[in-house]
Chain A
Amino acid sequence: MHHHGAGEDNWVLGGAADGVFRIGLVIGILGLAASFFLGFGQGNVERFYSAWLVSFGFFLAMSLGALFFVLAQHLTGATWSVVVRRLAEAVSTNLGLMLIFFIPVALGLKTLYPWADPEVMAHDALLQSKQGFLNTNFFYIRTAIYFVVWIAASQYFFRRSVSQDETGSVGTTLGLEKTAAPVTLLFAVTTTFASFDYFMSLEPHWFSTMFGVYYFAGSLFSFFAFLPLMVIFAQSKGRAVHTITKEHFHDMGKWMFAFTVFWAYIGFSQYFLIWYANIPEETGWFYVRQNNGWATISWLMLIGHFIIPFFGLLPRWVKKTRMTLVVWAIWMLAMHWFDLFWLIVPNANPNGIPWHPLYLTCFLGIGGIYFATIALTLKNKSMIPAKDPRLPDSLAFENV
């Protein structure tokens, strides 16, 4: 039987988390210092905000993906995923950290968003007609609502789950199942509007009702790539070695594959209708992304974000082998970064790709702190929901 030995497994990261915390913190602080220096010390303020928003969007997506994963597991009463749910809960609680990382976005509001600049607004009749929604005050009110919902939801699901490690109460599981339904609705609305606000309104003339789903698809794409990496890291430190088996990796691999396809489906759906209708106010957004070097990134999205990982993740053995999953997970995370780069940067830089070290330093700065915080969250807690009533089923899980 598969679960022999799971009982003797070490489920607490402890010292292994210390290492990640220290390295993450050092990389994070150096990355942030380099970013502030390059941005404000060397007068690349516009580039700083652009690069910051790309990495903000990247890590926000990952935590939102994690929150949705937790909600979906409770909604469906899933058993296979119990052994990896605590890791997802920890990633989702980083939504609190993302609120701190929102501060530079707020400081750069005028630089990033044309609608936040009174000069632009004064001469643009189209934007004036959208002013009821696209104005600074309402933008901050909405941001407050998003983060209240996200932080409350992620903390609630994490803390209830951790409290169950002590109590073993079945009532906790049943309660979370009920709560998950309305919270999923709130999640859908807040994530959709947040993607409209933070990323779609960078080009405020343009609109796409598909945009929210596109960002959501990318968020799960990146989270499902990150999840097996966390497990493999923990197992390399001798944690949960017999608890999380090949069968669980197989399922995580299926999710990576599924959201590779879902992302492409949504991305094409958005492109297709705009291409077919061929209305200038809609096609302008893609026109920018097909010219002056941006076409390269567009092709990278089609081929690198979809076709290559589609065939790469298709065979069953790839999804059951830790090494191949690591390779594809890193590939997918890189592609997801380029997806956000492609989403955020072109409209302010239609004349060419503005390569700049700030894109790297902001990623390292936010990322280092992000990973350090996850390590801190998990350090002294069981990385497995030890008394979840569905844990025995999850431990014994096998794909038929």
Chain B
Amino acid sequence: MSVAENRVATDKPSFFGYLVEFDNVDSLIHAAEKVRDAGYTNWDAHTPFPVHGMDRAMGIRYTKLPLVILGGGLTGLGGALLMQWWMNAVNYPYIISGKPFWSIPANIPVMFELTVLFSALTTVFGMLAFNKLPQWRHGVFSSARFARATDDRFFISVEATDPKFDAKKTADFLAGLGGSEVEALED
């Protein structure tokens, strides 16, 4: 189903949340700290480049991804050992260079390579999964101004699904952060 059909099939555009624009990093960081301190959880900051200190300003906890990668790496390590044991010692025993059928030193290069491969693939796909990517559409793109998030503007978006969200109070709160006018987003 194409994106256009999907939109028609569901219903009229629904309310997604609010967007507020800033023209420099410092005001964005200060605004983010206020949103964080107000207790919002379902919100995001959008910048054209990585901003140091943004994680802290947003109160984002450090990613769990490394633990998942460790699991991926150990799977590669064990899988490589198991595979070579089965192939060389069980399924097709074959004497190579006078070594025993199952010789761990000979298996180490493949164990190393599969550890690296599985870790790398887990990193990429784990990162995509944790970021809920790929997403074909997102509420912030209903704003025409948002194109400048990849150029020279900084944004904060707060989603309506946030437990603390209130159409009136949140709009007033965002308006007081020192950014542009608050814009309502559609999904």
Contact = CB atoms under 8 A, between A and B. Distances in A.
B124 interface: no
B108 A268 contact: yes
A299 interface: no
Given A278-B98, A400-B52, A272 B70 contact: no
B50 interface: yes
A37 interface: no
B105 A400 contact: no
A279 to B, nearest CB: 11
Contact of B70 (A265, A276, A314): A314
Contacts of A315: 66
B97 A278 contact: yes
What class of interface size applies to chain B in its complex with A?
A: 10 to 19
A275 B52 contact: no
B66 A276 contact: no
B167 interface: no
Nearest to B73: A314
A316 interface: yes
Contacts of A400: 50, 52
Given A271-B105, A272-B105, A276-B106, A316 B66 contact: yes
A276 B97 contact: yes
Interface string A154-176: 00000000000000000000000
Contact of B52 (A265, A272, A277, A398): A398
Interface string B75-102: 0000000000000000000000110000
Nearest to B96: A276
B109 interface: yes
B47 to A, nearest CB: 13
B50 A275 contact: no
Nearest to A276: B97
Given A265-B112, A272-B108, A278-B97, 12 more contacts: A271-B105, A272-B105, A272-B109, A275-B105, A276-B105, A276-B106, A278-B98, A315-B66, A316-B62, A316-B66, A398-B53, A400-B50
